[in-house]
Amino acid sequence: MQLRIGIDLGGTKIEVIALGAAGQELARHRVPTPQGDYAATLAAVVGLVERVERETGRRGTVGVGTPGALSRVSGLIKNANSTCLIGEPLKDDLQALLGREVRVANDANCFALSEAVDGAGRGAQVVFGVILGTGVGAGIVVNGRALDGANGIAGEWGHNPLPLPAGDDLPLPACYCGRAGCIETYLSGPGLAMDHARCSGELARPEGIVAGAAEGDPACEASLARYEQRLARALAGVINILDPDVIVLGGGLSNIERLYQRVPSLWCPHVFSDHVATRLVQARHGDSSGVWGAAWLWPD
């Protein structure tokens, strides 16, 4: 019986899933991501693969969703918000440690593919899948196929500048990529926390800001309102260019329920159309969509 193993290499957690031949879940585990330690990250991935193979008693194919992308020139990781991966031969190292071929793809592409195939975007022709987590990424799926692009950067929405920055958006926050004002610096979890601290003088994690807003805290409500306005502006640009049937949100911040009602009402003034049919929905597989997509990097 065939075994597919998927790894989602995130900024805060590494998740593994083992799927049977029909796509049924056989095992799943998570561990914290070692921070700033490439060797420890490799060891964590290998340990998770070995764990599910012990549990299932079978050897499997391995697909890995990772921040950034493999350079088509050097084969090294580029553009990763987990900066310890940048410039490292992740695919080659994992293949050597695991003793088999490993398929590596951008984590947002894995997420979008999973949601387009059997998730919240199932049946849609064009799906834009967004990860709002430690970083901000996106993937594009057209007719069931994830687009990679000539440079391997299709869907790198998080490193476009935030549209129409003004007022509370200024000064433009510095980004690890060397630019300033990237969408990621506003819409990631750390970006939301930093914006709240800057405007309110209060330190709070994103989940604390959401809870505070629900309890009527004015500073928390103002921070979430700014977040929603920025997300609406940023997604309006996607709609104007790509015109997707559906936008699927994943990552930790996708659990903010109010986004799905408020953001579509806020993006309308920025979309070049008299009507916006694009749907904004939450990922069906939650923050595990990426790991499902990674497993399916090995087709039948």
Please report whether residue 114 resides in a domain. Answer: no
Measured at the alpha carbon of residue 109, what is the angle toward residues 270 and 120, in degrees to the nearest 5?
70
pLDDT recorded at residue 212: 98
- Residue that wins the pLDDT comparison between 134 and 17: 17
Q: Which of 151, 156, 159, 154 is nearest to 72 (CA)?
A: 151
CB 208 within 8 A of CB 189: no
Q: Mean pLDDT over residues 234-259, rounded?
A: 96
Q: Are residues 60 and 24 in the same domain?
A: yes
Q: Is 64 in the same domain as 213?
A: no
Residue at 145 is within a domain: yes
**Which pLDDT band holds residue 300 (cuts at 50, 70, 90)?**
low
CA separation for the pair 35, 204 (Å, rounded): 21
pLDDT digits (tens, 9 = 90+) for 97-136: 999 999 999 889 999 989 998 899 999 999 999 999 888 9
Backbone angles phi, psi at 113, to 5 degrees: -65, -45
Do residues 46 and 81 both lie within one domain? yes
| Collapsed DSSP state (helix, strand, coil) of residue 26 | strand
Is there a single domain that holds both residue 104 and residue 131? Answer: no
- Domains identified in the chain, total number: 2
pLDDT above 90 (res 11): no
90: left (phi over 0), alpha (psi -120 to 50) or beta: alpha
pLDDT tops 70 at residue 277? yes
Other Cβ atoms within 10 Å of 273 Cβ, number: 11
Decide if pLDDT at 44 tops 70. Answer: yes
Structural domain for 223, as ranges: 122-283
C-alpha to C-alpha distance for 190 and 276, rounded to whole angstroms: 30
Q: Tell me phi and psi for residue 85, to 5 degrees.
A: -85, -20
255 and 129 part of one domain: yes
Q: Both 87 and 126 in a single domain? A: no
Q: Which residue type does 22 have?
A: A
Q: What is the pLDDT of residues 211-223, one digit of tens each?
A: 999 999 999 999 9
Does residue 224 surpass a pLDDT of 90? yes
Residue 117, domain member (yes or no): no
Q: For residue 282, is pLDDT > 90? A: yes
Strands 13-19 and 25-32: antiparallel
Query: Does residue 34 share a domain with residue 140?
Result: no
Same domain? For 29 and 87 the reply is yes
Domain shared by 135 and 174, yes or no: yes
Q: Based on the fold, state whether residues 159 and 257 are members of the same structural domain.
A: yes
Q: What is the CATH number of the domain that holds 132?
A: 3.30.420.40
pTM of the entire predicted model? 0.84
